Every structure is written in structure tokens, then in C-alpha cells.
Structure 1
Amino acid sequence: MTHNVAILGASGYTGAELVRIIATHPRLRVAALSADRKAGQAMGAVFPHLRHLDLPTLTTIDEIDFSQIELVFCALPHGLSQALVKDLPRSVKVVDLGADFRLRDPAAYKKWYGLDHAAVELQPEAVYGLTEFYRKQIKGARLVAGTGCNAATVQFALRPLIEAALIDLDDIVCDLKNGISGAGRSLKENMLFAERSTDVSGYSQGGKHRHLGEFDQEFSLLAGRPVEIIFTPHLVPINRGILASCNVKGDPKAIHAALAARYAEEPFIVVLPFGEAPGMGHVMGSNFCHIGVVGDRKPGRALVVSTLDNLNKGSSGQAIQNANLMLGLPETEGLMLAPVFP
């Protein structure tokens, strides 16, 4: 059986990545693509690397017949999905790749995104889309909120350690490197090639990054008390990829054993042998996350390094992984492509 899906916001990077992955998915069919500013254009004209695919012409959202759609991927800018999802037929399942439903508390959403929540009545039914930890809830969900890509990378490294009480919750320091595509496709002066190609710089530092809202929510829920990590993100001059280096206080061997045990049956999470750290280039273009643990020269400290592709496992791949569960399909369907290397 083939399931008709629509991609809203298809002219962005995550929209294009959804199309690229679904092109080899045996059970999903792209039945509608929206991109209001590029309505009327062919997807292959907007993204030439997709010219070989037989895809519907880009339209406005209003032109889509949702009675023919089983699941919608919302790849829209923050703040646009909430009002839209309210008006969709209840029969349509939704995977939102943006931030509109990630934070369970509307006040937290207002704090981190500066917007009033436009669909408060829908928020209680939204399931947080970190698949490996919310799998059961996602299977029965109508609305899934995809995680932030930075948030996913760090959570894969730390959630099992917080659950097992293996690290000091008041001494977690995370340094993160993020590819340029994480900033989206809209034109920004500080994202010009001449300004980014030879530069590495921090952004949203000093506790200002929006994904801290997800860390606060998820880590505090796990610990049963408030947990606030130190998180410093940096932009690096590569197209895609995230690498998070998490410095924690705890026994390195016990930390490695806990991660290896927790992810032993997970198809997309690879825990490297103790002492090995992963690189971004080993997961590019894939739905895989690699995690490594290295002991520090100071006894009782460890470095936990996690890396994934921000456009794939951090966003569009994760969205399809969740959609597979929501539609009753094998979770790995269409997602087992090997990373691209070099």
C-alpha cells in the first residue's frame, strides 16, 4: 500500500531533503508540494538535483486537496504550523519539523521563540519526536513535533546517562559545531560565502540558544528536578553536519557501557569502541548518529561526542522515521542508505 504525503515548505533545505529520501521509499508517495513564494514552479527548477524525479508542481497551501493526503510534513518557518494544523482534517496525520509544538508549556514557547502559541488546544496531543525515546507514543500519535537538530545531537549523548544517574547534573558542558544549512535557506548577509567560508564563530551564546528550551524540558523531566546545561554552539564552514562534545563528570567506562547497552538494538545509533570519537564525515547524508566516549586526563571525567547530519537524522530523516511509525510501516523503511563519503 502506498501512502500519499504532502510536504509544506518544500522550497527549504529540509523540504528538499524529505523529497530526496522519499524518492527511494517504497511506501510513500509525494502527492503535493507547497512553497508559497515559488508556487507554479517545478521542484526540479528550485532544486536541480531533483530534476530526475516525477514530482507535483509547487503550489500554495490553499490549493492542496487534503482529503487525498494521509500525512503532512510541515517544513515551515517557526510560527506558521500552529494555525495551519488547527485547520487540517482530523484524519490527516502531521509531522512538524519546526519548533511550533516541541515545548509542552506554551509559556516556555513564548519565552524561547517570542511568540504566543496559536494552537494551545493541540499542544497536549503533540508527541516529542525523538524517536528512540518516544517510539511507543509516536506510533499512536496524530501530531508529532520534530526535535531541534542541535537538541537531538546532545540528547542522544546524554539522555541514557541522566536516566541511569551516571553523571553530575550540575556539571554538563556541551560545545557544538553546526554546518551552515542549520541556519536555513533564506538570504542572510552574515551567511554569505565570503563571510563564512574561512570563519568559525559562536552564535546564540550565553544561554540564549532556543534549543535550550528542549534541553530544560527533557533533561529536567528525566531527572525529576531542574537541569540546566552549559551549551555553546558554533557555525563552521561546512554545508551540513553537527558534532557535539559533551564534557561530563562521571566514570568514563560506566558511561560507555551504559550508552552501548541502551543503543544496542537501535538501528540508527552507533556507539563506537571506548576511546574512539566520531567525525561528522562518517554520517553525512544518512539517518545515523555516531557516539563516542573518551576518558579525560582528570579522573572521573569523560568526553561524550555525538554527531549526525542536521538535515537528515536531525530533521527530515527523523521526520520520516516518525512517519513510518505513525503509518504502521517498518521504522527503517527508506532510511537505510549508507552515509556519503568523502
Structure 2
Amino acid sequence: MNLLLAAFYYNNHDVQVQEIPTPKAGEEEVRLKVMASGICGSDVIEWYRVPKAPRVLGHEVTGIIDQVGDKVKNWKGERVFVSHHVPCFKCRHCQRGNHTACHTLHTTNFYPGGFAQYVLVPKINVEHGIYRLPDAMSFEEGTFIEPLACVSRGQRLTGLKRDDTVLIIGSGISGILHVQLAKYRGVGNIIVADINPYRLELAKKFGAQHALDAKTNLPEKLRELTGHLADQVIVCTGAISAAMASMDCVENGGSMLFFAVPDPTVKLQVPINQFWRNEITMRTSYGAAPNDIEDALGVLTTGNLNVKEMITHRLPLTDAQEGFRLMAEAGNSLKVILEPNQE
């Protein structure tokens, strides 16, 4: 029996690399040899992941199609990115353009997960979720397609404009991608807040005009820098303190986006009277739809986003536990990529 290595997640401190049977592609499926798989910030949110453990995580996946089913005609040996979630395109949500609300999108996935040497891609993902990588794009760069697509969706939904003053709270992977994409879109005043000095320096490196210690009085600092509050506030951390502080940082007529949220037990007290009087909009963004993935792929293809230097660690799959430690501790690291078929 052919076996592959897969990293099973139990919690952030217990990730076990085990051998499991290598799947074979059915007649309408393909098998992907995984070359790079990014550890997402959501992969280390224990309230989100532990209830479904043990499982093989990993959804920022690129690789080479190494086996195709008899009825698959469009793919054979290509370098690709594979989307783990795809919508049905038929339900009421999809018909109204709300693809990430689609039940199918929330239940589709590949097997066993991207932190494995091979993944089996089911029929619906073959039809709607495989994207060729441009020749000039490395497997590592391709792992940014999915997270950038999520960022693209968030900025589109919140109606980001070039003359907005944008405050991004949290400068992890998603926060830095928000900085870079906003800059790419022509936004000239980007401010980042975080409690980690290392990541604040990264925020400035990747395009933020100002980097603020999130422990300070953010509304006061914003007024000192700009004379007003932020037209757009994007929350990229699940910290309760960040969620609470963000609501005091929005300018009249502005909006705030919860790109990340606290755990389900937290009930936020929204100053609804203040929001009503000042016409402040609050919204959320979840995941990415196919149009967002296509947009992200197009943006990355231009080469105008510096994702290569966001990668701080490249590890073999056998070091998956170390990768999860680095991501969970959020110290002097940013993007951690596992390479399951590293020679």
C-alpha cells in the first residue's frame, strides 16, 4: 500500500505527522502533489479548529496535478492553485452574488487537507476551483492567492476608496495583505495598529504610512496624525480589546470591517446610538468567492505586491508542529509555509 505523510492537528501544541493511504483519483477527480501549503492565521485559532480535531488542515495550497480521472479532460500535469471551498452557482445566495453564504461553499473541501503530500480534489472543485499558476509565479507565491482573495473581497464589500484614511488593526498576514492591496489600489493614507513591535516595523516596510502601538489611545493618535478619525477601520485580529477599540476609531459617515472576529462566547456592545447618529456602517467579510480568487490571481500576476518577503519560514511537513508554534506565538514570524514534498 502506498502511504503519504499528513499533519494531523489536535491543537496548537499537538500536531502529529502520520502515514495514511495515498488516495487515487476517481473518474471525475484529480490528485494534487502538494508543493507548498501556507499556514493561515485561522489555522491556529483554537476555538475555531479544536472542536473538529483531529483533522488535516491546510487550504492555501499549490502543487502539480499528478493523476487525473478518466473523465477529466482539462487537466494533466499543470502547476496549479486549488481552492478548497467552491460555491454551487445555483442556489439563491449564489444567484444574488452572495457566493460565500452558499451552503455548498461551506461544506466543500479536498481530502485529506493541504498539510499532506497529496490531496484528492473532488469533482465540484475540479470544475470550479482549479487555477493555473502563471509560469513566473512560484508555488510559494501561489499560496497567497487564497488569503489575498479574502482581503480583496473584504475591501470590495466595504467600498474602499483612494481618498480614504484607513486604519488596519492587526498586522499579521491578513493585515499586511490589506496594507499592500490598499496601496496597490491607490489608497494614500494607511495606518496600522498592533501590539507587536516587529510586526509594526513590517507594516511600515510593506507600505503603511504610520504604525501605532495599539495599547495607546488610538482615536487621539488618529486625530493627531490626520485631524480626524478613520474613514475605514479594518479589524484583522480576534482580540476583544481590538474589537472594542475599533468602534471608537470610525469617522462620521465611515465604515468598519470585521475581517477577524472574537470567539463565539463574546458579545460585543455596539454603540448603536452613536453609529446611528453618525451614519457609521459595520459589516463582516468571510472567505472568498471565485471572482475574488480571480482578482487576487490577477493582482499577484502583476508582481506589484511583495509577497516573497512576507515569507519568514519555509519548513518540511515533518516540522509542521514548529510551523504551528511559530504562527500561534506570532512573534518574529509572519508567513510560514510547509513544503510537503521537499526533497
TM-score by length of 1: 0.31
**More RCO (CA 8 Å, sep 6+):** 2
**Higher strand proportion (structure 1 or 2):** 2
User: So what's the TM-score if we normalise by structure 2?
Assistant: 0.31
